[in-house]
Amino acid sequence: MGGILESIAALLWGLPLILTILIAGLFFTVKSRLFQVIHLPHILKVAFTNIFKKQDTDDGSKGIISSFQAVSTAIGGSVGVANIGGVSTAIAVGGPGAVLWMWLCALFGMIIKTVEVTLSVHYRNTDSNGDPYGGPTYYMEKGLGEEKKFKYWMIPAVLFGFGIFITFFFTLQNYTISEAVSTTFDIGMIPVSIALMLLTYYVIYGGIKHIGKIASKLVPFMVLFYILAGIYIILSNFTQIGDVFAAIVQGAFGGTAAVGGFAGAAIAQVIQMGMARSVYSNEAGWGTSPMVHSTARVNHPLKQGIWGAFEVFIDTIIVSSITAFVIIITGQWSTGMSGAELTLSAFEVGVGDTGRMIITISVFLFGLTTLTGWYVYYEVLLRHLFRNKSAKQKQRFLTLFSLFYPIPGTALVIYAVILGLPGQIVWYFADIASAIPTFVNVIVILILSKKFFALLHDYRARYMGIGQIDPNLKLFYEDKEPPSKKEESL
């Protein structure tokens, strides 16, 4: 089974998808005039200013949650087991060189995430309660279907939704958290999984507003704590930093020979591991977090798009890089371990048993925010799927879904414990689940790139003093629709 899943994952994450991501990233980077690079100080300034303000709402702006709550939910949904177990697995399989490809994918991912978040906010729908929802399926319907007159827009939308819902049945969060807590505190994985399931019910019971409120309190604390612990280990081994960079660069272009418990990796495997885990970590191009960003109160689509770039920067350039450096600098990458166990072992080497326990608690919080953040993605997709149903029918279905939502994750843990399913098998399912919607979504945002650049130019003119404002540009798609269309229920 492992060999079959590995082959499927390798095929999906083969040259076509890798080239698609690289070409899209390069295209948006060049045509935006290196926006995510040159204007990184502006991106960070806007983000940190609003974080310390705790809110960044705009008078008269539609939205369910604030931009800060939206990005906290999105970061909570992406900064999690992928940073703990995914990055370590990439290094365990592809060697240190996978980190360089992870960085390259993240650099392009910053602008790709900006694009998909901006389009999601621009093309979002407002329901009968005045609440906005958006995401890839929404800009497929409006951008491809209505503006581009592509009558088969449902095909990419269904493929996208199918890929996203694979993760509903093969979720990694519950499994990775249960594994981490079990190995650290010598508690069975199944009891940990059940406890996590009950906490998930508590967080999602109040819907998107409750999830956003809790995420805005938990996410900044847990990210900062993890970063400080990692920096402490790296600085404690300051003299080895140069060797770490050398191993990353050499491994990226020459592969990595077998050493210790590490089986060795060819260049193709290094690239595949780095890029696949980068996308699974920061979700750039995957089309997931734009669904929660679309619910934010904001008066310009690109304002929220900037939060998307910030999200990738924090997730991969900061958090995932710290995980990678800790694993490599402590020498644990070549032990033969993988997943959460490898990361925890590296932190244990760096700061001792107490450090491992503290990081395990962080992993638990990471996983909880990831689980609840992903609930938002599923809800937005389901709202679009049942957009023509009555509000009562939609609410009944969403209530049933919320009751069922945490169960598959716990069921997977029980299955893995009873049958001894290796952790790598679960990660192959994750690679397959991320590849399908990513390929579809990246192709679609390339087709709709003209709209993004129009909104980018408008933002530059309004808020950065670059260029002139186009008075004919409608910032939100609904603004140019007839009233009857505006009031249509999702």
Q: For 76-96, what is each residue's pLDDT tens digit?
A: 655 666 677 678 878 888 888
Q: Are strands 296-297 and 65-66 parallel, antiparallel or unpaired?
A: parallel
Does the structure show a pLDDT above 70 at 204? yes
pLDDT tens-digit readout, 403-455: 888 888 888 888 878 877 665 666 677 677 778 888 899 999 999 999 999 99
Residue 322 has pLDDT above 80, yes or no: yes
The DSSP element (H or E) to which 77 belongs, if any, is: helix 67-78
C-alpha distances in Å from residue 210, one per residue of 222, 296, 458, 479: 18, 14, 33, 29
Say what the pTM is: 0.82
Given a cut of 80, whether residue 119 has pLDDT beyond it is yes
What CATH architecture is 2-486? Answer: Up-down Bundle (1.20)
* pLDDT value at 74 more than 70: no
**Which residue is it, tokens 């991969």?**
316
Angle made by CA atoms 5, 11, 17, in degrees to the nearest 5: 130
Q: Which of 5-9, 118-122, 252-256, 477-481 has the largest mean confidence?
A: 118-122
Give dist(CA 199, CA 91) in Å, integer.
31
Ranking 147-151, 172-176, 232-236 by mean pLDDT, the lowest is 172-176
Task: Tell me how far apart the alpha carbons of residues 367 and 123 are, in angstroms, rounded to a whole number.
Answer: 30
pLDDT digits (tens, 9 = 90+) for 122-171: 999 887 777 788 889 999 999 999 999 998 999 999 999 888 887 777 67
- Give the residue, 422 or 489, on which the prediction is more confident: 422
Q: Single out the residue of 50, 39, 67 nearest to residue 299, CA to CA.
A: 67
Q: What is the dihedral of CA 431, 317, 260, 262, to 10 degrees?
A: 20
Q: pLDDT band at 56, cuts 50/70/90?
A: very low
Averaged pLDDT score across all residues of the chain:
81
Percent of the chain with pLDDT over 90: 20
The pLDDT value given to residue 425:
67
Collapsing DSSP to helix, strand or coil, 133 comes out as strand
Within 10 A of 336 (CB to CB), how many other CB atoms are there?
A: 12
Q: Where are the domains of the chain?
A: 2-486
